[in-house]
Structure formats: structure tokens, C-alpha cells
Amino acid sequence: MYVVLGVACLGPTSRAVVLDATTGCEIAAAQGPNIPGWFTAEKEDKDYESESALWAVVDAALAAAGRPYASVAAACACFAVRDPAGDLADLLKTLAKRLPEASVTAAQPLASAVLAAATGGVLQGVALIADVHTEAIAFAGGGERVHRTSGWGPAFMDGGSAYDLGTRALLAVHKAHDGRGAPTALTRALLRRLALSRPEELVAWAYQPGGDRAARVAELACTVVECALAGDAVAETIIRHGVGELARSCAAAAAAVGLLGTTLFKVVLAGHLLQEGGLYGQYAAESIRAEIPYAAVTFLSEEPAMGAALLARVARDGAAARADAAFKRPAQS
């Protein structure tokens, strides 16, 4: 019996889902190591662990399903990417190393899996992720038209991301310390969080060698939200700016594929910053509705890996349809 496979990572662990290729019913699922993104440009700069993590979660899912690699009729992997063309091409090459030649393989940005998970595999609408990174992706015309915004990584700020919020918090504390900016509760809150005594010690913390600096800074985002909840005006300004960036990313993506008009379309929010009931998620939803009146905003409740598996089925069905059409086409004389 053939299966389809979906792999994605949103949060601290990756996940793989195995579906029956014919019925679409879930056979098995497994969790694996964290895969923060598929960033081809980083391969030469440091040990690249994403590939081994990918196969670890795939091995676990196929073992749980009791299926060999040869049974995989289609697979789709969805991860955070920065350079979609290069990163996704590299991801496809990686999938080809173990999957059978006859298997239909697909690679998509993570937001594609988020949208597919929320729509049952229908590529129509917008998905927005706000985590360490940020990306929005819009589909229309049954997936024929697609446009992605943001997502270039910390060097480009990724407006509205956890890294963006953390960076602006550090800047606010720096300005308050200098007398160039308003006093803020962020000063005491960040020092307490990082076990530091004086604002000047933030310099050594920010430039400490080793580790993932962007991830360290992104972890400060939750402190920004906490201070905003406590009534700090500077923190409130930071998160209002962040959700404005997110709303503009969604609007730009939707406009590029022709979704803006008079018809409702779904906007799916995902990522640890965009949790239903959280302040940042609430502000983001409000900002998107103000920017896009016909947006039906919802929060992700399904696993992105399921969305990736559904995309694998879509890819397989599309390949089968094209092959069938080619077979039935009259031969050229």
C-alpha cells in the first residue's frame, strides 16, 4: 500500500505525518528534532544539522507506519526559508536522496503548510507566521497564483517577528539609558530576565560569541508583550508597530495574487507569537481586519505537517492527472 508523507516544523519540534495514498486517512505521525529552517546559505558557515534532523523524523514516522521508503508515492517538506528559489531547490535535492525515483516530491515554504492545514489542502487565502522569523504567503486560483512577503531573515529585520520585537526592546532600553528615549519598564524587565545588574551589561550579552544570536534576541519578545500587558507605553508602541508590519505583509501578499476585492478569504495565523487569546495575536488579528476588510482571520489549530501531507497528495494527484492527459492526447502525425 502506497503512502504520502508530509514533514514540517513550527515550534520546538519537527513533525512528520503519513497518510494512506488512496483514502487520505492518517496512518501514523512522529515528532523529531527541531528544524529552525532550511537555509542553504548557512551550509558553508556552520555545521548544517537540518538534513539529519529531517531524516530522523521521517524515519520515525515511516517506522511507526510500518512502511518502507519504497512505499512513499509522494512527499512534501515545508520549512522556513529565506531564499525560496535556492532553499527549496536544495530541499528537493535532499528529498531525492532517499525517496524512490517514482515518488512525487514537493518543497514549500512553511506558510504553505499552515494554509493547507487550515483549509484541508485547498490553496486559497493567506497564511502568516510570526515566530523567530516572519513570512506571509498568499494563494489564489487554486494555487496557480502565489506570492510570498517577508521572511528574508534577521539581517532584514523581518518586521513583526520575535527578532524584530526583541531588537526594538534592546534599542528602547539603550535610548532610555542615554536619555534619548522615554523611560520604560523594559529596562528592569530585561535585566531581570537576563540576570544582569546594569543596562551596560546588555552590550556583552548582545555580542557574546557562539550560539544563535537571532534566537537569543527573539526570546526577548515575550518580555515585550508582558510589559505591554502591564501598561508600559514603550512596549505597547513596539508591539503595535509589529502587528502593523504583519498586516501590511498580509495585504501585500493578498494584493499580489488578486485576492483583495469584495470576496471573503481566509487568513490563517500561526507561530508562537500568534496564539489565540494572546495579546500579540489579538492585536495582529485586529490590525489585519482593519487593513483587509474581507479577511476572515483564524488561528491555526491543525499540525502544519498534516498540511504538508495534504500538499503531497495534491502534488501526486496533479502529476497523475498530467500523465493521464498526456497518455490520452492524440499522437502527432
Question: What is the rounded (10 degree) CA torsion for 271, 276, 278, 279?
Answer: 100
Same domain, 317 and 217: no
Residue numbers of the domain that contains 287: 154-299
Same domain, 317 and 235: no
Same domain, 286 and 323: no
Place of cell 539609558: 177
Residue 148, beta-bridge partner list: 137
Show the beta-strand stretches assigned E in the chain. 3-9, 14-20, 26-32, 72-79, 104-109, 125-130, 134-140, 145-149, 265-270, 295-299
CA gap 233, 244 in Å, rounded: 16
Same domain, 164 and 278: yes
pLDDT for 46 equals 43
Mean pLDDT, the chain cut into blocks of 10 residues (333 residues total): 94 94 95 89 62 95 96 95 92 93 90 94 94 93 90 92 97 98 98 97 94 92 97 98 98 95 92 95 97 95 95 82 48 46
Residue 31, beta-bridge partner list: 15
- Are 185 and 230 in contact by the 8 Å Cβ rule? The answer is yes
Same domain, 11 and 41: yes
pLDDT for 50 equals 86
Residue 149 is assigned to a structural domain of this protein: no
Same domain, 178 and 249: yes
Same domain, 63 and 168: no
Q: Is the sign of the CA dihedral 231, 234, 271, 196 positive or negative?
A: negative
Same domain, 90 and 168: no
CA gap 201, 196 in Å, rounded: 6
Full-model pTM: 0.90
Same domain, 166 and 198: yes
pLDDT for 320 equals 52
Same domain, 238 and 312: no
CATH number reported for the structural domain that contains residue 9 in this entry: 3.30.420.40
Same domain, 312 and 265: no
pLDDT for 44 equals 55
- Are 129 and 251 in contact by the 8 Å Cβ rule? The answer is no
pLDDT for 48 equals 61
- Residues 219-242 have pLDDT tens digits of 999 999 999 999 999 999 999 999
Residue 195 is assigned to a structural domain of this protein: yes
- Are 128 and 268 in contact by the 8 Å Cβ rule? The answer is yes
Number of structural domains (the chain) is 2
Same domain, 206 and 90: no
Pick from 299, 274, 146, 149: nearest CA to 222: 274
Residue 142 is assigned to a structural domain of this protein: no
Residue 138 is assigned to a structural domain of this protein: no
pLDDT for 258 equals 94
